[in-house]
Amino acid sequence: MYPKIDIYLGDCRKVLKNIPNDSIDLIFTSPPYADQRKNTYGGISSDKEWFLPISKKLLRVLKSTGTFALNIKEKVVKYLRAQTNHGYAQIRMVVDIGIYLA
């Protein structure tokens, strides 16, 4: 017999409100890059403005034995991959709120 599996798909700002504390085994996220999305996702302008509050909500629902996967790629500018510190800033934010890296 297989364990029960629930998959949530949607805007995490809405979906997370209905998920109990310490109930999720795996969170996989690939957040948009704020510096490239100034006119989308509600007009975000910085990671601290939108990703940090969401990260705290993700931590709330993640079990202490759970896994948090953060997908970060290089920024693409005029069809070329550009190195950026953007991904490192997101990693630093989740570490600062208590999500540990493995």
For 83-92, how does the pLDDT look when each residue is reduced to its tens digit (9 = 90+)? 556 566 777 7
Whether residue 5 lies inside any domain: the answer is: no
Domain that holds residue 48: 21-96
pTM assigned to the model:
0.68
CB 57 within 8 A of CB 16: yes
Q: How far apart, in whole angstroms, are the C-alpha atoms of residue 71 and residue 97?
A: 18
Whether residue 7 lies inside any domain: the answer is: no
Whether residue 33 lies inside any domain: the answer is: yes
Q: Domains in the chain: how many in total?
A: 1
Whether residue 30 lies inside any domain: the answer is: yes
Whether residue 76 lies inside any domain: the answer is: yes
Whether residue 73 lies inside any domain: the answer is: yes
pLDDT tens per residue across span 27-75: 888 776 655 656 665 655 566 677 788 888 999 999 999 988 887 766 6
Whether residue 62 lies inside any domain: the answer is: yes
Whether residue 82 lies inside any domain: the answer is: yes
β-pairing verdict for 24-29 and 62-70 = parallel
